Amino acid sequence: IKFDANGDSFINRGKLGIRTTSPIDLLHIKSSTTDARQVIDGHTGYDAELKFAENGTVKYTIGHDAASDNFVIGTTNVDTQQRLVIDSAGNVGVGVTSIPSWANLITDGTVAVGGLLYMKTDNPIQALSAFPGGASDLKMQTGGGKVTIGGPGGSATGHLELYGRYSGSDPKLSFRSDHPTSGNTTVWDMARITADDGGNYNGVLHFQVAAGNGSEGAGAALATAMTIQDTKYVGIGTTAPTHKLH
């Protein structure tokens, strides 16, 4: 069957061809001279979407969500049950319905990486107190928690840097433990290494341990066991050694 407005549309064995007499599927749009395009044009303030159904039941929908001006992959509609969102700036959200201004890629779920994950030099990894939220502490997942820097066969030496602020916050390396009983969230410090600048652009190291016996609700308080001053004097039980070994 030929629709003879300009001789451009044909039905061949139940398949509709636009600008082709031999459609290879139910709908086949072809251009022999330029791009082949299809337009879905919603009214002002209304969505333009394409639905995918199985035996009459809509499974997925893609299109433009007029309310947010985002491209969306959803389930029944583009404005409900959104699964992937791309805004006009090209930022992507997975499992979220809005993308904060500071994010280029955001998800409120688990991300699994089966290969290498590259970070641009001098760009930090920052933990959040909420989603989204302010800066917080970064934690490795319990049950794993092993971090390797460098490693066998690597071309670069492993290097860990801890930063502080002059005459302010001192960088620390803490060794902590938690309670083995399920539901008990008690965490305490067993030992800590702290570096300070001595207020004079130098370096002092303090080695602290949990001295004495703690309780189930809290560990023992940390006490300085050894100090290494910028003079290279080592103090055991004193933070102000006056000899090479004090």
- Full-model pTM: 0.63
Instruction: Quick: pLDDT tens for 195-204.
Output: 988 777 888 9
Residue with more model confidence, 11 or 103? 103
Confidence of residue 71 (pLDDT cuts 50, 70, 90): very high
Q: 85 - beta bridge partners?
A: 72, 93
**pLDDT score recorded for residue 153:** 65
Residue with more model confidence, 108 or 65? 65
Instruction: Quick: pLDDT tens for 57-69.
Output: 999 999 999 999 9
Confidence of residue 157 (pLDDT cuts 50, 70, 90): confident
Confidence of residue 50 (pLDDT cuts 50, 70, 90): very high
